Amino acid sequence: MKASTIAIDGPAASGKSTVGELLAQRLGYLYFDTGVMYRAVTWMALARAIPVEDEPAATALAECLHIDVTPPTADDGRQVTVLADGTDITWSIRRPEVDANVSLVSTYGGVRAEMVRQQRRVAGGGHIVMVGRDIGTVVLPDADLKVYLDASVEERARRRWRELERRGEPADYADVLAMMRRRDAIDSGRDIAPLSVPPGAVVVDTTDLSISEVVERVMQLVYERDRDGA
């Protein structure tokens, strides 16, 4: 396939991870959600009582932390298994306290530099669907296909709220919505690699679409890219 590197960007809970995983399965490509790296750094900072407001400390942690992302090692609904220094933190990095702090940690230049370095190394072999917030703008600006998934903030908050409920972690929808709005503001307003639609990306609004409908839409874009040879 000519579309060997596919970048999928978008805000929190826009469907990036689920769509990216299903797309990679359809294509036989490697699926890599770069957001888990920033979540891993954030969770480990919290677990080790490192103040997330301390940029030098967070950067030092990122530079020494060994993060592995592997195919699922447990049948519990996970998309991948995330290991930090050998510890399985797959579900820990999805906790509300990580949601509340990961955007701040991801603004740090040193953290981002280390994560981007690792992400580009992984993408070097091609045949990859890479998902995140700065893939088409920073990590893989020359990706063969760039897609930006979006949805209303209310719908994205509902998705995250339902996800927490399914995992047995009751949460208040209003709190999740407030957190989502705060995260959007941080992600879009940060000085380093702010969340934005990458040049040349196709925007797909997922608010009223099912996951299967979104996947089919992106697959259509892949086929069009291959047909045109662009």
Question: Can you give the CATH number for the domain in which 46 is found?
Answer: 3.40.50.300
Segments forming the whole domain that contains residue 115: 5-219
Asked if residue 130 belongs to a domain, the reply is yes
pLDDT in tens, 19-60: 999 999 999 998 988 989 999 999 999 999 999 999 999 999
Query: Residue 203 phi/psi, 5° resolution?
Result: -90, 130
Q: Is residue 13 part of a domain?
A: yes
Structure tokens given for 202: 């196709």
Whether the full predicted model's pTM is greater than 0.75, yes or no, is yes
Residues 6 or more apart in contact with residue 114 via CB below 8 angstroms: 59, 62, 63
Pick left, alpha or beta for residue 171 (phi over 0 → left; psi -120 to 50 → alpha; otherwise beta): beta
Q: E strands within the chain?
A: 5-9, 30-33, 67-70, 81-84, 87-88, 128-132, 145-150, 202-205
pLDDT at 200: 96
- CA angle 74/210/193 to nearest 5° reads 75
For residue 205, being part of any structural domain is answered with: yes
Residues 6+ apart with CB under 8 A from 223: none
Q: What is the pLDDT of residues 66-92, one digit of tens each?
A: 888 887 899 998 888 899 999 999 999
Tell me, yes or no, whether 226 lies in a domain. Answer: no
In angstroms, rounded to a whole number, what is the distance separating the alpha carbons of residues 8 and 190? 19
**Domain membership flag for residue 227:** no
Which pLDDT value is given to residue 93? 96
Query: Average pLDDT in the 127-152 region?
Result: 95
Could you tell me if residue 147 is inside a domain? yes
Residue 229 has a pLDDT of 61
How many domains is the chain built from?
A: 1
Whether residue 224 lies inside any domain: the answer is no
